[in-house]
Structure 1
Amino acid sequence: MSEHVPQVHGHCDARFTAVRAAFEENFRERDELGAAVTVTVDGVTVADLWGGWADAAHTRPWERDTLVNVWSTTKGPVALCAHVLADRGLLDLDAPVAVYWPEFAAAGKEKVLVRHLLSHRAGLAGLREPHSLEQLYDWELTVARLAAMEPWWEPGTRSGYHALTYGFLVGEVVRRVSGLLPGAFLEREVTGPLGVDFTVGLPEKEAGRAAELVHPPVASASEQAAIFSQLAPVALAALTNPVAGAAEANSPQWRAAEIPAANGHGTARAVAALYGIFAGRGSFGGRRVLSVEAAERMREGQGSCRDLVLGAGFAHDTEVALGLWLSGPNGSYGPNPRAFGHDGFGGSCGLADPEAGVSLGYVMNRMGPHIADDPRKTALIEALYSAL
């Protein structure tokens, strides 16, 4: 192994050596800096690997318990919070959001359903008025603005990726029903009892374990202008109002905030466990979190379409279920079209395949330019399925 390819630590069952090979190849061929991958089969960990560096300067090795911001991979656990409440009969996914959040009925949204929030069909992909990062850190202000705004399109008819607003929309319903913000609810009901190393935001006492995110290659000003000129106003609102990248996510302010669509922090082991609940049809590690029926409902497709925000980045239609994306014919989460999962900006992902009994968590700190289907993630998933 060359001096430029860091040593990979952890364990990997002999059957899954292809996963280890792909993980090592990510460092050798795909410019990985620091990363970890965990695979479970029927709730048993069969691969748990980590390596590389937790910082750009190569001064801190990536350790077994290194945490990193996983961006939108957080959306799966946040959706889980809503499904736990629905499973207990406390939340009706087919009820208008305004039943739980009366202010939300403003501006013609009285018929928007809870399922529309979960499936990116609420028409609220981004705020219409300028919204700074400091304002994003203000939960009350952000949810008040969302409650007051007019949808970008007729809710329920199409999906449009709610990149940052998703966590506030689903999270405020969780708060109205349970009395807890989604991070606290997740800790009380799921990660605490299961011993899963994952939080929404990052407690200050854990900052020493956090990896430094590193920016993807930056396009030139002219290239950026060309990209933005092709985006519809709704896509600009969803992806750039406000702009958040590696520098922002490394800040104490970002880590201290509750941004349930984008600032979950965890290990690959934690992501594999949380998505393992979905793969285990509601159960993981001998603990039942959701009924089998509720777990199945999470991957109930809400209609395939060209996404109104991300459509320009895909050569195909996609389908969002009730909180997660279906693998579909394009195979984003492996060859089973009913496997499902979620990617995080820059590369991370969580995958669940109930038919195979498989979950995968992949986390890293050198962000690629992709919102979804990063080549490093794709290589790991291909390796996993080659071993099954």
Structure 2
Amino acid sequence: MFFSGVSKLNLPSERFTVIYRVLGNEKEAYEKAKDICLEQTVEFPEELVPSGVIADHIVGRIESFASWDDHSFHVAVSYHVDCAAKELTQLLNVVFGNISIKPGIKVMSLELPDSILCNFKGPRFGTAGLRKLLGVEQRPLLFTALKPMGLTNEELAELAYKFALGGIDIIKDDHGLSNQSFSPFEGRVKLCAAAVDRANKETGYRSIYMPNITAPHHEVLDRARLAKKLGAGGLLIAPGLTGLDAMREVAENDDIGLPIMSHPAFQGSYVLGDSGLSHQVLFGQIPRLAGADGTIYPNFGGRFSFSKEECQAIATASLIPMGHLKSIFPCPAGGMSLQSIPESLKVYGNDVIFLVGGGLFRQGPDIIENSRYFKKLVEEISNNK
């Protein structure tokens, strides 16, 4: 036959499991489940799969199949750990490679053993490390963005200075700031990092500036190194644009060693509708694998469509035990206002970073006072919970 000798492979027995929600009636959903097992591994006609190790271990295995609701089914498929090749890229390929092109299949959660998780360093700081860096023990952290696009570097630096004077913990580039002619990357980082440092010396706070290093793949590491050299306290990356493994590479680089925030740009279509990835997988579990210390996503009640339940699922996936990987901060954003803070605190508790951008400008003309109000509001509500 074509495949003589394949049964001689000697593989350990450990597997990892992916939970899928599959649309259709029982017969249709079960056929899709069987297709997932083949498509995500051997990508080969079932009747031609070699017997022995490949059929018994390499091909995905349906571990459970049960009704989810009236029109979909809960399917647990396990895969041999060696199929993931100890790589983030290949792990994601097995989880949702070819079947991402097929309708009616959604990844709901990942169940990863230590033999998978040990291949990833995960978040360098996590929730505890970021709190220590910023000198904030209990309350939620405060986050804002330098905007709008089109301001000069000098104007952005002045904004950064005022935010830091007002006590904002993390001041990031808006994700639309890159290396435009009106705001060149190197000049912006130099001025904004210096502005935040100057404010810290005046206030005694430990605010940090996070430039956006989302860039062509061959420039991402260079921008990260340059940002650190120029005094940046952290980094913003949109892994939907750079690739998740590019973020992992920056996070695991000991020469850089800065906290990382993951931005959701270009990832929205993955979570909208009945296909794709669940909110908790895309914005909770995967960023932890890829080394983010915080995950930015649209908050419920803002200008996007995420529900309270979806946001709660992201927060839970960010914080619950996941092997040796540190917990990370959920960072609700996307149209958050100061008026939404009290309700959001009830949902998230104190282990959260509130990202308020345009809402800080709506509060009034004095950015410093608006920032101080933001800080006072969070401190008072979190202390009285």
Question: TM-score, normalization: structure 2?
Answer: 0.28
Greater share of helix = 2
Q: Which is higher, the Rg of structure 1 or of structure 2?
A: 2
* Bigger relative contact order, structure 1 or 2 (CA pairs below 8 A, ≥6 apart): 1
